[in-house]
Amino acid sequence: MYAHVLRPLLFLLPPAAAHGFVMWALGAVEHAAPIRALLRHMVVPPADDRLVTHVMGLTFPSPIGLAAGFDKNALRPRALAALGFGHIELGTVTAQPQGANPKPNLFRCPADHVLINRLGFPNDGAARVAERVRRARRAVGVPVGISIGKSRPVPVSDLDAVIADYLTSFDAARGAADFVVVNVSSPNTSGLRSMQSRDHARALLGALAERADRRTPLLVKIAPDLDDSELESLLEVVEQSKFDGVVATNTTTQRPENLITPKPRVTAIGAGGLSGPPLRARAISVVRRARARLGRDAVIVGVGGVERPQDATAFLRAGANLVQMYTGFVYEGPLAALRMVRGLASTLEREQVRSVSELVSTE
């Protein structure tokens, strides 16, 4: 029904307007516990011990989560969890409240199930968002992460200021979230990806790890566009900084040649991060390299082009402990998490595997 009726109607609206409508529609679910309970009864399958994942000292009812970016301001975490996700990552938030980059800043390429965005971390500020998370967290019922990024006015040339900015966001987020993701890889904040270089990453991640004092699980979100040597260098810093692991990957600035969307349309859209199925192969490759470098104890979250259960399985086999979706949620609709969870359960049944963790490559 979603693919044939609801999605075409939603896609009559500009992407930002459609997102706003969906967030408005989820309002009743977010604020009414009986409606959430009814929705959970309708769309969340019975608990399946085989899908339970234990990482970072947390228990995830399934490895399927919602990626950062969908709910930047923590306005609908309870409603989104009621749709069956095993965890919710909120944000990205910044120390300073800020608006979006100039419009238009969000685009669809439906033929490829792709989104392109250049939003640039619009959010109400880390302190305010963290307070919302703190109030809602108990009723969410699944682990909640907060992604933190750099405030736009802070120049990347002033490393001390950048570190102080991230620490301000981290101090707000760590008291509210179950885990924190350090976003240094968005292509939509000028110069941000330079924070993935060895020296900058060592300074930033080291300062955050020291502030965390090992009480708050910390992950770093990395770009798919790093070359192999850059990726290995960053993973070395992650390892040295004693971070818990990585989220792989963010959106890509690349425009694959095999897109169905006509090239003039893609060119006209311009800059921004591309997400969806064309990103999947590279994201899986980065997950595999991260697992090989960081070892069996690291936590790896795979994200990029996840639409179907077989996509999630591919990430798990490459070494991801958890898998996230965002663009796939937009294109597959409100039952996306349910289909993913059922598909994973069917895979375990078919392969006679006792636990989803047995699918995860640790080599």
Catalytic annotation, residues: 186
CA atoms within 13 A on the CB side of 305: 19
Please state, in angstroms and rounded to a whole number, the distance separating the CA atoms of residues 156 and 38.
Answer: 47
Which two three-digit tokens encode residue 276? 């969806």
The partner residues of 41 in beta bridges, in order of sequence, read none
Q: Give the separation between CA 224 and CA 231, rounded to whole angstroms.
A: 9
